[in-house]
A and B are shown apart, each in its own frame.
Chain A
Amino acid sequence: MTDDVDADKTAPSVTEAVRAATADISQPVRDVGLIVGVLFGVYALFAVFVFNQGLNSVVSTLRVVTFFIAVYAMLALALNLQWGYTGLFNIGVAGFMAVGVYTMGILAGDPAGSPPGLGLPLPFAIVAGMAAAAFVGLLTALPALRLRADYLAIVTLGISEIIRLTLNSGALNSWLIETVGIGTGAGSGMGLPSFSARGLFYVDGSTANQTALAEVVFAVTGPLGIRESVVIAWAYVFVLIVFVVGFYVLLARIGNSPFGRVLKSIREDELVASSLGKHTQLFKIKVFMLGCALMGLAGILWQGSQGFVSPNSFMPIVTFYVFVALIIGGSGSNTGSVVGAIVFVGLLFEGPRRAGGALSDALAFTANPNTSWEALTLVVSGEPLALFAYATDNISALQFVLLGVVLIVLMQKRPEGLLGHRNETAAAVPLTEQTRSIRGGESDEQ
């Protein structure tokens, strides 16, 4: 019932929102500027690591970085909807991604493949994957959203692990193949219809037969020494970026709608929201399902591009990565989610690995200790570089330590993240209008 009232309100507020967006042009421009600025800062850093290996290598490295930025930005935005807007502490992100990816894989998989799929059209499979993730979200949300935040955390982590263990089960896989004729592939994983932008560049997939777009693009990139495969991979990343923008716009739209205001009021004080006649459970269930569907889509776009998926891609650590990205950027802020994803991937996820590789190439260590004890004894015996050699060999461990320390320091010193100031406009009418007539659009509303 409350929804009908809200729905009535949303109709006029579309025009209001458009007016608000055009009236206060400086804020979105500032946000885009910030995102692009941070992105290019990270690019510059990575270019330094690999610049001596030629332009193709630089472009290829930046593609990998941008790919991860895009998928983590999507996941962080989806989580922002659940946690940042509504305060639902979901640490089962990986599980909901898995549901989306596996549903898509089973529906679109080759019926003759191993494991066999249903061979349905891909767009249908993608939408069904999102729907399945939303449905599992509903099953989780119906009972679990009554719980305290820390209980919800444990329940969602438990569900995500149950999903992963189920997909990993060999017994289930063979039972499914026998009785239904489809399978999950269990621990050895399943092939996915591979997503790629090849179709934009080659007619019928043959490299000899290029499209008009390919001829234009390759004419520029070819002489620069950038391989065609790198260009095609970049094209897919651009598709991902379009999806990130789509996620962002959707969330911004939700956040400014009456629906979004109810979500934020639930986050701040659910009792108040329900006292004002809002059916808070319904709002929470809806937003949980939507967030899960977006997580499923992000998972599909991520894993689909690799053409293969296994349950190991959905360890709880993936969920924590998304949380770190969101917390760095600032939970509650969409721009923050994207900036957080850039900073996370650049400085914590891909950065240390590349830096370790570059360092170990540059210093060309002579010592090669196998254990921390050997490294320590070498240091004592007058070879201080041995510790560096051991550290660069084990850079992945140190990277996780850094991740943990960053998380702790953020929670201690800056729990609101870089941009998580919850200073959001709560009115559908643009508040800047009156001041604009006096001072020309200057506003300190964030």
Chain B
Amino acid sequence: MGLTNSIELRELWETRRSVVLLGLFALVLCVDLLARLAGVEVGLTDSYSFGGALSLTRFGGLLWNGIVIGLIIGLAGIGLSMTYSILSFANFSHGDLLTTGAFGGWAATYIVAAVGTIELGSLLVVRAAGSVSPADIGANIVQTPFAILVGIVVAAAVTIAVALVIDRLVYKPMRDRGGIALLIASIGVALALRYIIQFIFGSRNRGVTDTTGVRVELVGISVNLHQLTLVVAAIVLMIAMHLMLQRTKLGKAMRAMADNKDLALVTGIPTERVVRATWVIGGGLAGVAGYFVVLDRGVIGFNLGWFLLLLIFAAVILGGIGSIYGAIAGGLVIGITYNVVLIWIPSDFNEAAAFALMILVLLYRPDGIFKGVTTA
């Protein structure tokens, strides 16, 4: 028994050396985390030690922030994963769809929240210039829940419209072209879209939400109601997405196209309609995700989506391109990694760590960490 075990271990070591090393590394980190939580510290050298002190509150806070950003990334990743598998290209303009949704949705929220009291010019361009402060408008989930709801819907609607127009103008004439041609075109779309947004809404990064009364005590824990709202909304959207894919004919058609496009064509699935549905769902979710980014951070800027793009790619690749559940799980992994690594490394490097994770997955598990679960 012991002999076969050691042979198996050796085989594992020889065939999957990198995976074994990575696994060991992860194990060490886990043990270190547990040691830190337990407050155990073993000095190794003067400046390095194993374990340490980490309060449960700080760890919980990091984990929660990770889940919040992870759900946003997952939501955005669904669309990217779907377009990647159904249209077979890496869409570099996906991040800017988030920005579109953020500005469209928050303009709507501002108008619903403060039309009549504040002049329309400041509201429509989301405080691009002028002296109106976020507190004057007072847009938050406590004072103006209806405005937030309208904002979410408008964010989705605007982004869907923009995504469909872009598909009609740019990608439709290029359907038969290779992935790289489409990828380059999507970089063009990303630039054009981002700077049209900058032209309309200005280049300033500015505060948007009014955070008075947003942080409350719920059963003894301090909770940010904005984060709670977006977590609940994101989970609802993800469940709706799951039901749509599993229960409806359209969902079945989309899964079929993602799995095997030629076979789908042969069976008579109307591909153009599926492509349109992909943009509607992917664009809508991206727009909502962009709106949520601002709800979480309270700050809006024309670069917001572009800076998130690589993290969204990381999530999609981690979960396996084409897999929607993978995108959600990948988003959570990336979001949690992004925050929890702060225990070990300075905050300058958490983004780099997420990218490094993505590169490692691309190199060693190009089908994603849940290899085999490709269907939608």
A residues in contact (CB < 8 Å) with B: 89, 143-144, 147, 149-151, 153-155, 157-159, 161-162, 165-166, 168-172, 320, 323, 327, 370-374, 377, 394, 397-401, 403-408, 411-412, 415
Contact = CB atoms under 8 A, between A and B. Distances in A.
Nearest to A399: B195
Contacts of A404: 187-193, 195
Nearest to A164: B352
Contacts of B193: 404
Contacts of B195: 397-401, 404
Given A372-B128, A373-B124, A415-B181, A320 B349 contact: no
Interface stretch (B52-60, B70-78, B357-365): B357-365
A403 B125 contact: no
The 8 closest A-B pairs by CB, nearest first: A404-B192, A407-B188, A404-B191, A169-B348, A400-B195, A171-B346, A408-B188, A370-B129
Interface in B334-370: 346, 348-349, 351-352, 355-356, 358-359, 362-363, 366
Nearest to B184: A411
Contacts of A400: 191-192, 194-195, 198
Number of chain B interface residues as a range: 35 or more
B90 interface: yes
A412 B179 contact: no
Interface string B192-235: 11111011111100000000000000000000000000000000
B202 A408 contact: no
Contact of B191 (A166, A373, A401): A401
B310 A401 contact: no
Given A159-B359, A370-B128, A407 B191 contact: yes
Nearest to B196: A401
B220 to A, nearest CB: 35
B348 A373 contact: no
A404 B202 CA distance: 18
B173 interface: yes
A371 B202 contact: yes
Contacts of B317: 154
B199 A372 contact: yes
B183 interface: yes
26 contacts: A89-B180, A147-B362, A149-B179, A150-B89, A150-B179, A150-B183, A151-B362, A158-B310, A158-B314, A158-B355, A169-B349, A323-B184, A323-B187, A371-B125, A371-B128, A373-B128, A374-B121, A400-B192, A401-B191, A401-B195, A404-B191, A407-B185, A408-B188, A411-B188, A415-B177, A415-B181
A170 B174 contact: no
A377 B199 contact: no
Contacts of B363: 143-144, 147, 155
B346 A371 contact: no
Contacts of A168: 348
Contacts of A171: 346, 348-349
A189 to B, nearest CB: 15
B47 to A, nearest CB: 10
Given A155-B363, A404-B192, 4 more contacts: A372-B125, A373-B125, A398-B195, A400-B191
B2 interface: no
A374, A399, A404 interface centre (most CB from chain B within 10 Å): A404
Given A171-B346, A400-B191, A373 B359 contact: no
B203 to A, nearest CB: 7
B187 A151 contact: no
B355 A408 contact: no
B94 to A, nearest CB: 12
B170 interface: yes
A406 B188 contact: yes
Contacts of B291: none
A403 B192 CA distance: 7
Nearest to A142: B363
Contacts of A408: 170, 185, 188-189, 192
A320 B191 contact: yes
Nearest to A374: B121
A399 B198 CA distance: 11
B105 to A, nearest CB: 17
A412 B188 CA distance: 11
B43 interface: no
Contacts of A154: 90, 310, 313, 317, 358, 362
A372 to B, nearest CB: 5
Given A150-B179, A401-B192, A405-B192, A162 B199 contact: no
Nearest to A405: B192
Q: DSSP class of B's interface residues: helix, strand, loop or mixed?
A: helix
A169 B353 CA distance: 13
B130 interface: yes
B108 to A, nearest CB: 15
Contacts of B89: 150
Contact of A377 (B121, B189, B314, B346): B121
A150 B88 CA distance: 10
Interface in B287-343: 310, 313-314, 317
B352 A161 contact: yes
Contacts of A397: 195-196, 198-199, 203
Contact of B199 (A159, A374, A398, A412): A398
A399 B191 CA distance: 10
B170, B180, B191, B199 interface centre (most CB from chain A within 10 Å): B191
A407 B187 contact: yes
A394 B128 CA distance: 13
B75 to A, nearest CB: 20
Contacts of A407: 184-185, 187-188, 191
A95 to B, nearest CB: 11
A170 B184 contact: no
A341 to B, nearest CB: 17
Contacts of A153: 90, 180, 183
Given A150-B89, A398-B195, A371 B129 contact: yes
B125, B192, B201, B317 interface centre (most CB from chain A within 10 Å): B192
A150 B317 CA distance: 12
Contacts of B348: 165, 168-172
A402 to B, nearest CB: 8
A403 B187 CA distance: 10
Contacts of B120: 373
B125 A162 contact: no
A172, A398, A405, A412 interface centre (most CB from chain B within 10 Å): A412
A83 to B, nearest CB: 9
Contact of A320 (B182, B187, B189): B187
Interface string B102-140: 000000000000000000110011001110000000000
A147 B90 CA distance: 14
A158 B358 contact: yes
Nearest to A144: B363
A334 B179 CA distance: 24
A403 B198 CA distance: 14
A411 B196 CA distance: 20
A162 B348 CA distance: 10
A148 B264 CA distance: 24
A161 B359 CA distance: 12
B311 to A, nearest CB: 10
